Amino acid sequence: MAFLKFNNIGITAISACVPKKIQKNSQLSDLIAKDELENLINTIGIKEKRVTDPEVCASDLCYYAANKLFESTNIQRDSIDVLIFMSQDGDYKIPATAPSLQHRLGLPKTTASFDINLSCSGYIYALSTAFAYASLEGIRRVLLLDGETFSKLISMKDKSNAPLYGDAGSATIIEKGEFGHSYFSLNSDGSGVNVLKIDAGGARNRTTVENLAEIEVEDGNFRSPHQLYMDGMEVFNFAMMCVPKDIKNLLTFAGKELSDLDLIVFHQANKFMTDYFIKRLKFNNEKVPYSIDRFGNTSSVSIPLTIVSEISGMNRKNVVMSGFGAGLSWGSALVDLSSSNLLPLSEI
């Protein structure tokens, strides 16, 4: 595993944005039997998700979140030296999306802009990258944009995925300041590449007429190779084995105890999984916020979305964030959010 430590680098502001359109899981009774559906909703904890209109992209949600951040704070656009766009659903295959966001947001042409693509652990990885850039001489501020529109990447005829995924975007400002120490743990295991996967559309399995069609796969589900496949049991086993251990390893590296933590913000995969983490760690469940009931699994955006929507009035000096997912990859961060400006959640 990779352990990283930063001194006096931190998060000054976070903004998040969700679509206004609500999709309720109770409306999936044509796909899933009513009694099975009720049990599923109670288990995964997802009552509803936010989903974009067809023409709205992940970058649009991030653009709105970033504009809201600039309009609501004294942070100037010309103070941004680095822009990072984290998403698995960029605007195009080529070019990267970050330069277009630099232009749309009116950031200076001297802004370094690039994309990162890394599943549900992506916010942690991208945040560590932003901290690393912000620690360098000549860098004032880094703008991290994290957006996902997973509702476009699943089949609504796939009962294993249709109840899970929602859409969101976020904007985070990282800069130098009196933040004390921050710590990161980053990990990966590529032997699990097939556990969570969209098989077609990349260089290894290019798009063809044949692989565009939704076909019946397992258990009466329908999807194409261009839509998300997930082996739920393997994901659960992976997360149970790796996530609690990673948090303990991070705390050991930081010289902290679980009792020192104000909050743990988990990637919002499903409530059953998060509840199990809490039991394994023997942590106070009142210090673990949830947003999954209203927004579903928003992949990498779920951590900043949960921070913005759930923790504003809570103690947040010692906050652990934990993300895990496809790759397989997982990571944790310990940061001080006590002075971070958490803007009210926006809708478009």
Listed in sequence order, the residues at least 6 apart from 175 whose beta carbon sits closer than 8 Å to its beta carbon are 9, 10, 12, 134, 140, 141, 142
Distance, in Å, from the CA atom of 133 to the CA atom of 255, rounded to the nearest integer, reads: 24
Our measurement of the distance from residue 269's CA atom to the centroid of its chain's CA atoms, rounded to an integer in Å, reads 10
Its pTM stands at 0.96
- Cα 173 to Cα 79, 176, 335, distances in angstroms: 11, 10, 14
Active-site residue set: 120, 267, 297
274/46 Cα distance (integer angstroms) = 13
3-state secondary structure of 77: helix
Q: Give the count of domains, the chain.
A: 1
The tens place of each residue's pLDDT in the chain, 348 residues long, gives 599 999 999 999 999 999 999 999 999 988 998 888 999 999 999 999 999 999 999 999 999 999 999 999 999 999 999 999 999 999 999 999 999 999 999 999 999 999 999 999 999 999 999 999 999 999 999 999 999 999 999 989 988 899 999 999 999 999 999 999 999 999 999 999 999 999 999 989 999 999 898 988 877 888 988 989 998 889 999 999 999 999 999 999 999 999 999 999 999 999 999 999 999 999 999 999 999 999 999 999 999 999 999 999 999 999 999 999 999 999 999 999 999 999 999 999
Amino acid at position 86, single letter: M
What is the CB-side half-sphere exposure of residue 238 using CA atoms within 13 A?
26
Q: Which of 148, 149, 145, 132 is nearest to 172 (CA)?
A: 145
Which residue segment(s) compose the domain that 258 sits in?
1-348
- The CATH code of the domain that includes 107 is 3.40.47.10
3-state helix vs strand vs coil in the chain, percent to 5: 35, 30, 40
